[in-house]
């Protein structure tokens, strides 16, 4: 703030984005082309919570058509070093054969190059996969998937935001939010700001932020996911990202002799700095050992992150009809990184009033699919 005699001048911005995760930062980088844009981040750096803890991979093993469509639009927009081609292998355990059939049908809509593999063919890519009791019964291979680097993506958006004249206020958690006249007043411990539009990209805290401003919550629910890493005595550099098509696990190479794994858990959690629960850590190791010939005698590291979902498990991007100038960007669950380019385009169009992007039109995504009203109608 700038002092003028005894008065204090509040900094005025066109767009104030709350949250510097991948959703908020990618949207802010685009909005900065249209007006003065500020991102308020509670932590001391972008992407501390969900985005920075993601085992990021872009693929089409998502239940919802909308998420697959947003992924398809995003893949064409990814740039190195934030995204690199890397194969993905989807494996079925006993009882998951129908899930593998559904995945293949869903996948071919967007990636017709995908290949169905026998167990033996899958083992050529990941030799440790078991066959038989506890092992796999079939697989699907995508040679054109993308491994995502969350930190590189965040840094690219940060630089783009600053280059367009935008700014980031770190260590600036929102402490109060109110609507005065045609502007939103946003208070943080170090400064207060007035903004024409507030973009709520606060992740697990999205409902909390809305309620600060007297806005009804949407029911954004954070769910905890656990990740472990462990060393293996073989070179796994060329292994694909490998994921079960139903409950189970995924593994992903982390260098030549280390694997990352998750039991794909969804533990209920309050918004917080998530930490792994020991039973989920143990479950991750057990599921890997059950379906492969690998042993996990000790861990190199472990962590957890929060994946936040709307009640229908679809992303939300739209103005709240009951709060002028308040824009929701929330509920991007476990697919925030892989859909972020498309979602940022949607935010730019909806907030800045530009034409609906051709990239979204081409895959059949409309503003109504992302709108807040769908959740409010479902709650009535």
Going from the N-terminus, what domains does the chain have, and what CATH number goes with each?
7-50+150-220+312-374 (3.50.50.60), 87-144+221-306 (3.30.9.10)
Full-model pTM: 0.93
Q: Which two tokens stand for residue 115?
A: 């290949």
Segment 360-373 shows an average pLDDT of: 98
Residue 377: pLDDT band with limits 50, 70, 90: low
Instruction: Give SS3 for 12.
Output: strand
Q: What is the pLDDT of residues 191-220, one digit of tens each?
A: 999 999 999 999 999 999 999 999 999 999
What is the pLDDT at residue 6? 34
Retrieve residue 27's tokens.
Answer: 């949207």
CA–CA gap between residue 28 and residue 168 (Å, rounded): 10
Confidence of residue 9 (pLDDT cuts 50, 70, 90): low
E strand or H helix that includes residue 250: strand 250-253
Residue 7 is predicted with a pLDDT of 39
Mean per-residue pLDDT, 126-146: 95
The pLDDT of residue 5 is above 50: no
CB 370 within 8 A of CB 315: yes
Mind giving me the DSSP string for 46-63? TTTTTGGG---EE-S--S
Mean pLDDT of the chain, nearest integer: 93
Residue found by looking up tokens 């993905």 in the block: 88
Q: What is the mean pLDDT of residues 314-318?
A: 98
> In the predicted model, is pLDDT for residue 132 greater than 90?
no
Rounded percentage of the chain residues whose pLDDT exceeds 90: 88
Residue 374 host element (H or E): helix 373-379
Helix (H) or strand (E) holding 22: helix 22-31
């Amino acid at each position: 703030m700038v002092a003028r005699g005894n008065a204090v001048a509040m900094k005025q911005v066109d767009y104030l984005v709350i949250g510097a995760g991948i959703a908020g930062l990618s949207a802010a980088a685009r909005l900065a082309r249209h007006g003065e844009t500020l991102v308020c981040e509670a932590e001391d750096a972008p992407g501390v919570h969900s985005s920075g803890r993601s085992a990021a991979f872009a693929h089409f093993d998502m239940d919802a058509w909308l998420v697959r469509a947003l992924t398809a639009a995003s893949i064409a927009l990814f740039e190195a070093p934030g995204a690199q081609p890397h194969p993905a292998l989807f494996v079925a355990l006993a009882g998951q054969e129908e899930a593998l059939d559904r995945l293949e049908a869903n996948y071919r809509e967007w990636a017709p190059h995908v290949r169905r593999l026998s167990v033996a063919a899958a083992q050529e890519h990941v030799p440790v996969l078991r066959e038989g009791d506890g092992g796999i019964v079939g697989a699907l291979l995508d040679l054109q998937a993308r491994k995502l680097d969350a930190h590189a993506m965040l840094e690219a958006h940060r630089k783009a935001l600053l280059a367009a004249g935008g700014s980031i206020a770190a260590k600036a958690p929102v402490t109060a939010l109110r609507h005065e006249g045609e502007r939103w007043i946003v208070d943080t411990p170090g400064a207060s700001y007035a903004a024409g539009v507030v973009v709520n990209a606060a992740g697990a805290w999205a409902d909390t932020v809305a309620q600060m401003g007297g806005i009804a919550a949407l029911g954004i629910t954070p769910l905890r996911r656990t990740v472990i890493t462990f060393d293996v005595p073989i070179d796994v550099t060329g292994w694909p990202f490998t994921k079960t098509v139903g409950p189970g696990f995924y593994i992903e190479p982390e260098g030549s002799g280390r694997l990352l794994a998750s039991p794909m858990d969804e533990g209920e959690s309050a918004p917080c700095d998530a930490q792994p629960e020991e039973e989920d850590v143990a479950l991750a190791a057990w599921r890997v050992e059950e379906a492969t010939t690998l042993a996990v005698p000790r861990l190199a590291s472990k962590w957890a992150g929060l994946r936040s979902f709307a009640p229908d498990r679809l992303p939300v991007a739209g103005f709240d009809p009951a709060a002028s100038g308040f824009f929701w960007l929330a509920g991007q669950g476990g697919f925030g990184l892989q859909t972020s380019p498309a979602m940022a385009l949607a935010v730019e169009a909806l907030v800045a009033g530009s034409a609906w992007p051709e990239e979204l039109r081409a895959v059949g995504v409309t503003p109504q699919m992302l709108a807040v009203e769908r959740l409010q109608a479902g709650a009535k």
